[in-house]
Amino acid sequence: MSRHLITSAIPYINGIKHLGNLVGSQLPADLFARYQRARGNEVLFLCATDEHGTPAELAAAKAGKPVAEYCAEMWEVQSEIAEGFGLSFDHFGRSSSDQNKKLTQHFAKVLDDAGLIREVSETQMYSHTDGRFLPDRYIEGTCPNCGFDSARGDQCDNCTKQLDPVDLINPHSTISGSTDLEMRETKHLYLRQSAMKDKLEEWIDTREGWPVLTTSIAKKWLNDGDGLQDRGITRDLDWGVPVMRGDQPWPGMEGKVFYVWFDAPIEYIACSQEWVDAGKGSDWERWWRTDKGADDVTYTQFMGKDNVPFHTLSFPATILGSGEPWKLVDYIKSFNYLNYDGGQFSTSRGRGVFMDQALEILPADYWRWWLLANVPETSDSEFTWEQFQSGVNKDLADVLGNFVSRITKFCRSKFGEAVPEGGAFGAQEETLIADLTAKIRAYEGFMEEKEIRKAAQELRGIWVAGNEYLQAAAPWSTFKTDPDLAAAQVRLGLNLIRLYAVLAAPFIPATSEAMLTAMQTDNNDWPDDVNAALTTLPAGHAFTVPDVLFAKITDDQREEWQARFAGVRG
C-alpha cells in the first residue's frame, strides 16, 4: 500500500467557478484521488478556497457585505457545488483559517531567520478616494506609446507595451474612476528567491517525467533576463494574514498583510491541520513532515498553467528556504485551458457555463466524463455543445448505459431477476478475459501516469469489449438451443456490470454507485484478477434492472442550452 497526498489548486473565493476552472485542477485531482483509493492506497486529498487579495475585497464591497462574511458565504456555496460534482476532498478548507494564519506567520519567521527576507521601500500608486493602494491592473489611463485610452497600469492592451502606472497619461482608478491618485512610499517584505535560484534549479532538474508545460514555465522564470527575481510577499490590504514574525509583531509592517500567493500554497499544509481539527483525521504531520513519517508519501499537485510559477518556484522556495523537513511536491500535473465555443471561459465577463448552472441542467457524471475525456492536457481544448452532446450520448448512453440495459433486461425476461445458474465459461469467455486483462492493465498504467485522456479512451474500450462479447456470444440465440450456455453468458454479462462500476468509479462515481446498487452488491474490489472478478456475483444472486443510467441529450435540449449560454451570465 502506498500513500498519496493530493492537492488541487485552490479556487479563488470570488464567485462561482466555470467548467474551465473545474477541469483544470479539481476534477483531475479528484479522478486521481478516487483511483488511488480504489487501488487500496491511503489518500489525503485536500482543497480549499483562496480567500485573500484585492478582488475578494472588491467583490465583498460590491455585494455590500463585510469581506469576512462574504468569504464565509462563498465558501459555503463553493463547498456545496464541489459536493454536487462529487469532488471527494478529505477536507475543503479556507486559506483564511487560523491554522493558515499561524503557519504563514511561522514560515515568514523561519525564512527571515534564514536571511531570506529583505525589506524594500518602494512607491506605489495610492487612491485617496478608494482609500487603498492600487495594484497596477486597477489603474487605467492613456497609453504614452499608442494613445489608447484604456491602457492598464501594467500593460497596454492595444499595443501590448509593458507599462508602469506612472507612465500613464491621466491615470484613474478602475474601482472608483477617481483621478485623485498619488505615488506614495510604502515598505514591503521580499522573499529572496534569487538567493535560492541554484537550489531550485537543481531540484527542478532532478524531477522526472513532469509535463513539458510544467518544466518549461519553471525554466523560463529561472533563467529569463537576470534570472529568478525576489518577490514581494506583503501587501497594503486589510483582508489577509497579518504580517507577523511568528507570534511576534514585525516592526514597520503594522497594518499590512501577506501577499495572497505567499499564504495560498501554505494552506495546503494548514488544510491538513484543519482536517485534523475538524475531527476527520488524527495526524497531519505524517503527511507533511519527512521527519515524522512523510518520507514514503507521494505528493501530486494538480493545477492550471497560470499557477505553475507559484508551485514550481515560490512555494518550493518557501519550503526549501525554511530549512525545516517539509514534504516537497513529487509531481506537478498542469493543464492548459478549456475554451468555450470559440472563445475563452471568463469569470469576469460571465462567459461560458458555470458550475452551478451545469448541475442545474445535467447530473455531474455527464460533465465529469466529457470534461475528463477531453481535458486540455497537451494544448488548449474546446467545449462545444455539439461535441458534448455526441460524446456523452455515444459513450455514456449507447456504449455503457445500453450495455447495462440490454443485459439486465434480457436476463429478467429469460431467467428472472437473479444471476442465472448453469453452463460454464468456454473459449469465448477466456478470450474476453484475456482481452479485458490487457485493457485493464493499460488503463491502470494511464491512471498511474495521470494520462487522463488515454485512460478515458481505454475505459471506453473496456466498455466496448462487453458489447463485442454479447454480439459474438448472442445469448438470445443460444438460449433457444442451449439454455445453460446462455445462462453462463448472461452470468458473465451481469458480472461485467459490476466490473465496469468498479473501473469507472473514478470518472463517474454516482453512476458507478447506481450500478452496484442495481447489482445489489457493495463489493468494489479492484480486478487484479479479472477471471475472479467476473465470478464475483454467484448464481442465484439477486439484482434489479436499473432505470436508464444516462438519458440522451436531445437536439432540442442542446439548442436550448446553446442559446441560453450564448451570452453573458445575468
- State which of positions 386-405 bind RNA (CB under 7 A): 387, 390, 394, 396-402, 404-405
Q: How far is the CB of 135 from RNA (least distance, A)?
A: 3
Tell me the per-residue interface mask from 199 to 238 with RNA, x by CB under 7 A, - otherwise. -------------xx--xx--xx--xx-xxx-xx--x---
Longest CA pairwise span in the chain (Å): 92
DSSP annotation of 154: S
Select 2 or 223, whichever has its Cβ closest to RNA. 223
| Number of residues in contact with RNA under rule CB under 7 A | 84
Tell me the per-residue interface mask from 488 to 527 with RNA, x by CB under 7 A, - otherwise. ----------------------------------------
Q: Is 474 among the residues that bind RNA (CB under 7 A)?
A: yes
Select 287 or 458, whichever has its Cβ closest to RNA. 458
Select 356 or 398, whichever has its Cβ closest to RNA. 398
Q: In sequence order, which residues have a C-beta less than 8 Å from that of residue 249 and are 6 or more positions away?
A: none
Q: How far is the CB of 283 from RNA (least distance, A)?
A: 30
Rounded to whole angstroms, the Cα distance separating 152 from 149 reads 9
Residue found under cell 460590491: 62
Rounded to whole angstroms, the Cα distance separating 206 from 215 reads 11
Rounded to whole angstroms, the Cα distance separating 97 from 457 reads 40
Which amino acid is present at 179?
T
Q: How far is the CB of 237 from RNA (least distance, A)?
A: 8
Q: How far is the CB of 83 from RNA (least distance, A)?
A: 22
Q: How far is the CB of 285 from RNA (least distance, A)?
A: 27
Rounded to whole angstroms, the Cα distance separating 497 from 404 reads 6
Q: How far is the CB of 286 from RNA (least distance, A)?
A: 29
Binding to RNA (CB under 7 A) within 346-385 occurs at 374, 376-382
Edge-to-edge strands, sheet with 331-335: 91-94, 42-49, 3-8, 297-304, 331-335
Select 45 or 190, whichever has its Cβ closest to RNA. 190
Binding to RNA (CB under 7 A) within 295-334 occurs at 305-307, 309
Q: Give the N- to C-terminal CA distance of the chain in Å, as an integer.
A: 49
Q: How far is the CB of 108 from RNA (least distance, A)?
A: 16
Binding to RNA (CB under 7 A) within 171-190 occurs at 188
Q: Single out the segment in contact with RNA by CB under 7 A; choices: 104-112, 360-368, 406-414, 502-510.
A: 406-414
Select 133 or 425, whichever has its Cβ closest to RNA. 133
Select 106 or 406, whichever has its Cβ closest to RNA. 406
Tell me the per-residue interface mask from 34 to 73 with RNA, x by CB under 7 A, - otherwise. ----------------x-xxxx------------------
Q: Is 481 among the residues that bind RNA (CB under 7 A)?
A: no
C-alpha closest to that of 95 among 46, 59, 27: 46
- DSSP result, 169-202: EEEEETTT----EEEEEEEEEEE-GGGGHHHHHH
Q: How far is the CB of 18 from RNA (least distance, A)?
A: 14
Rounded to whole angstroms, the Cα distance separating 120 from 259 reads 14
Rounded to whole angstroms, the Cα distance separating 455 from 444 reads 8
Cα distances (Å, whole numbers) of residue 426 to 423, 463, 486, 488? 9, 21, 12, 9
Binding to RNA (CB under 7 A) within 2-41 occurs at 12
Tell me the per-residue interface mask from 134 to 173 with RNA, x by CB under 7 A, - otherwise. -xxx---------------xxx----x-x-----------
Q: Is 427 among the residues that bind RNA (CB under 7 A)?
A: no
Tell me the per-residue interface mask from 258 to 297 with RNA, x by CB under 7 A, - otherwise. -xxx--x---------------------------------
According to DSSP, the residues that pair with 122 across neighbouring strands are: 186
Binding to RNA (CB under 7 A) within 73-132 occurs at 122, 124
Q: How far is the CB of 165 from RNA (least distance, A)?
A: 8
Q: Single out the segment in contact with RNA by CB under 7 A; choices: 15-23, 295-303, 460-468, 516-524.
A: 460-468
Q: Single out the segment in contact with RNA by CB under 7 A; choices: 24-32, 242-250, 253-261, 436-444.
A: 253-261
Binding to RNA (CB under 7 A) within 542-561 occurs at 548-552
Q: How far is the CB of 144 from RNA (least distance, A)?
A: 16
Rounded to whole angstroms, the Cα distance separating 501 from 458 reads 15
C-alpha closest to that of 496 among 477, 454, 457, 468: 468
According to DSSP, the residues that pair with 382 across neighbouring strands are: 339
Q: Single out the segment in contact with RNA by CB under 7 A; choices: 241-249, 271-279, 321-329, 468-476.
A: 468-476
Cα distances (Å, whole numbers) of residue 277 to 10, 112, 282, 543? 20, 28, 8, 42
Q: How far is the CB of 172 from RNA (least distance, A)?
A: 16
Cα distances (Å, whole numbers) of residue 396 to 16, 59, 452, 482, 499? 27, 39, 17, 32, 16
C-alpha closest to that of 505 among 31, 124, 180, 51: 31
Cell of 570: 445575468
